[in-house]
């Protein structure tokens, strides 16, 4: 069953068409990548899925439910989490507090619960902390929970982002260039982590990535877009040998 269905998605900014007639499906419990050369419209498509851009036309179904032009926080609540290409941590808060933000949509204590310190609120706070710590442990930085996010090394800041997204307890995780700025060693660990997210947590993963080595290694299915349109779709092998992909993507990468 597909967890995500994108049907003829189009996004226009004035006269410019960033995403054009894009359709693809994402099967539950798979790892899929969306790739394409610079400016192909990957991030625009990604932002339509997560609600940060409002698509112009088309339809997006998540678990059979329309999320087209829906607000980001509602999409997160439905079970789709995202990370950001450029780190967007709450820099002046601790690592644990950062991850606790993910639990917001899964909890409900309000004004009176907080002021009166109701037992239900105290219990909920404990649960928020516990789940957040589990997420930190999962990405391997539990020992840094009380550090300020801004004081962590770049690779660890990336991990905080992943832990924070996991804390929203998603069924689908969207990673926007998770390998950007990581060294070879950290990329290896990322591959392992993405596989564990799918295998241990049962979360479907969709990633946008520039690093072809990582994409080929980890993805079971790849969708290639260029000029906002889908030009190929298939397994790593199929995509690698597709002449349109070689022309659009790999040819250009040599020039870089």
Partner 1 sequence: MGNSVGGIDRFRKILGDRKTQGAALAVLIIFVILLPLVANNYIEEVATNTLFYIVLALGLNIVVGYAGLVDLGYAAFFAVGAYTTGILMHYGWNFWLTIPMAVLFSVIAGVIIGGPTLRLRSDYLAIVTLGFGEITRITARNLKITGGASGLVGIQRPSIFGHILNQITDFYYLFFILVILAVLVAMRLHNSRLGRAWQYIREDEDAAEAMGIDPVKTKLYAYMIGAAFGGIAGAFFAVKMTAISPETFAFTQSAMILLAVILGGMGKIPGAILGAVFLVLFPEIFRGIGQTRMLFFGIMLVIIMVFRPQGLWPERKG
Which residues are at the interface with partner 1 (CB under 8 A)? Answer: 50, 52, 71-73, 76-77, 81-82, 84, 88-93, 97, 100-102, 104-107, 109-111, 113-115, 117, 121, 124-125, 128, 148, 164, 168
**Closest distance between partner 1 and the C-beta of residue 241, in Å?**
36
Q: Taking CA 242 as the corner, what is the angle to CA 236 and CA 248, rounded to the nearest 5 degrees?
A: 105
Residue closer to partner 1 (CB basis): 81 or 206: 81
Residue closer to partner 1 (CB basis): 45 or 231: 45
Q: Are 9 and 19 in contact (CB under 8 A)?
A: yes
Q: What is the SS3 assignment for 43?
A: helix
Beta strands in the chain, from DSSP E residues, in sequence order:
2-13, 16-27, 31-35, 57-62, 65-66, 80-82, 172-176, 204-208, 221-226, 229-234
Residue closer to partner 1 (CB basis): 37 or 102: 102
**Closest distance between partner 1 and the C-beta of residue 110, in Å?**
7
Residue closer to partner 1 (CB basis): 206 or 231: 206
**Closest distance between partner 1 and the C-beta of residue 234, in Å?**
30
**Closest distance between partner 1 and the C-beta of residue 58, in Å?**
22
Which contiguous run of DSSP H or E holds residue 173?
A: strand 172-176
């Amino acid at each position: 069953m597909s967890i995500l269905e994108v049907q003829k998605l189009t996004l226009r900014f004035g006269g410019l068409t960033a995403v054009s007639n894009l359709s693809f499906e994402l099967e539950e419990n798979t790892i899929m990548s969306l790739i394409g050369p610079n400016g192909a419209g990957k991030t625009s498509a990604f932002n339509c899925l997560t609600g940060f851009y409002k698509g112009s036309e088309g339809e997006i179904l998540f678990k059979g439910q329309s999320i087209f032009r829906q607000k980001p926080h509602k999409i997160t609540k439905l079970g789709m989490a995202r990370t950001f290409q450029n780190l967007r941590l709450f820099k002046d808060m601790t690592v644990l507090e950062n991850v606790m933000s993910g639990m917001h949509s899964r909890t409900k204590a309000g004004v009176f619960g907080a002021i009166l310190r109701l037992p239900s609120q105290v219990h909920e706070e404990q649960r928020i902390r516990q789940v957040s710590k589990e997420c930190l442990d999962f990405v391997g930085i539990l020992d840094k929970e009380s550090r300020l996010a801004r004081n962590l090394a770049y690779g660890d800041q990336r991990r905080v982002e992943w832990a924070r997204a996991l804390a929203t307890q998603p069924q689908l995780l969207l990673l926007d260039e998770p390998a950007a700025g990581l060294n070879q060693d950290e990329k290896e660990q990322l591959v392992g982590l993405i596989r564990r997210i799918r295998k241990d947590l049962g979360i479907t993963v969709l990633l946008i990535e520039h690093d072809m080595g990582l994409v080929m290694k980890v993805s079971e299915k790849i969708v290639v877009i260029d000029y906002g349109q889908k030009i190929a779709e298939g397994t790593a092998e199929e995509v690698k040998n597709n002449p349109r992909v070689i022309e659009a993507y790999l040819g250009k990468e040599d020039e870089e």
